[in-house]
Amino acid sequence: MRYDDTKKILVTGGAGFLGSHLCERLLADGHEVLCVDNFYTGTRRNIAHLLGNPRFEILRHDVTFPLYVEVDEIYNLACPASPVHYQFDPVQTTKTSVIGAINMLGLAKRLRIKVFQASTSEVYGDPEVHPQVEEYVGHVNPIGFRSCYDEGKRCAETLFFDYRRQHNLPIKVVRIFNTYGPRMHPNDGRVVSNLIMQALRGDEITLYGDGEQTRSFCYVSDLIEGFVRLMDSGPEVTGPINIGNPNEFTIRDLAHMVIELTDSRSRITHRPLPPDDPRQRRPDIGKAKALLDWEPTVQLREGLERTIAYFRTTL
């Protein structure tokens, strides 16, 4: 039993891009953090600066196996999130989403604690509703190359809400829209890291399709703020809640901004659009504003400048 406001918080996927920023934030808020990661896509480099903190603990573990620990809250972020990584071993990707969710829900049920699920805007698939609201049930191919991730996350959401209905488990589900910032893996295949690395190296800038498909880019610190506000909200706020930046850009616009900010001489080339690649993506964040008093504060140009500065250090 604890006699102060300090919590011991489990973060699965804690050595990943988002997980490391979340661990950092929770420590800054005065909590103890148990970072769990199998280091498939996460790296020790992301959390090296936290290792000397006496309130930080790291455990190598795969969430597809049960975990027996004593904690006060769970953030479940474990899952490869970029196409390059989640398509490398699609069966394991689905297992991580589904079995990982079952194991974290089981742990939360045993401990009677809140559990947070990092879901994704990919549950909307190639949307026919724009911008995407949480009530939209999506337009997803269940047997395509992206299905291991899309459907895995959709099934995880199903499990979370069934645990709430069947066991009255306190849950929080967030749907993450495109997020970027320092500690992104330079070769993860996501559009922001791809374009920045190509521009810094002077390589050709690769756009898929005509470059007119749209995305909405949320800086990592804004996303983490949304995570914490959702977790700290009342029991009636379960989600799913969209967390993302509602400002919409074409990929071509993004490429030109990256070229300008890196002062690159790279030229733009085009390749065929991958299967099931969404043509448009933009969150409706009305619920986040109303229920969490949250909206992003870092806009694209400022966020890209910070991210480019980080990637320069990795070259």
Task: Residue 183: name the closest of 47, 38, 25 by CA.
Answer: 47
The rounded distance, in Å, linking the Cα atoms of 140 and 146 is: 9
pLDDT in tens, 163-197: 999 999 999 999 999 999 999 988 888 899 999 99
Instruction: Check residue 284 and give its pLDDT.
Output: 96
Active site residue 310: no
Q: Is the CA virtual torsion 143, 144, 145, 147 positive or negative?
A: negative
* Residue 82, pLDDT score: 64
Tens-digit pLDDT profile for residues 185-194: 888 888 999 9
* Stated pTM of the model: 0.93
Spell out, as residue ranges, where the chain has pLDDT lower than 70: 1-4, 82
- Per-residue pLDDT, 2: 52
Buried b (16+ CB within 10 A) or exposed e, 182-202: bbbbeebebbbbbbbbbbbee
Q: How far is CA 241 from the centre of its chain?
A: 13
Which of the following is catalytic: 40, 124, 149, 219? 149
Question: What was the pLDDT predicted at 4?
Answer: 61
Bin 224: left if φ > 0, else alpha if -120 < ψ < 50, else beta. Answer: alpha
Which residue in 29, 2, 3 sits closest to 11, CA to CA?
29
Domains and CATH numbers, the chain: 8-180+218-246+283-297 (3.40.50.720)
Nearest Cα residue to 253 out of 207, 220, 221, 295: 207
**Tokens 């609201």 — which residue?**
133
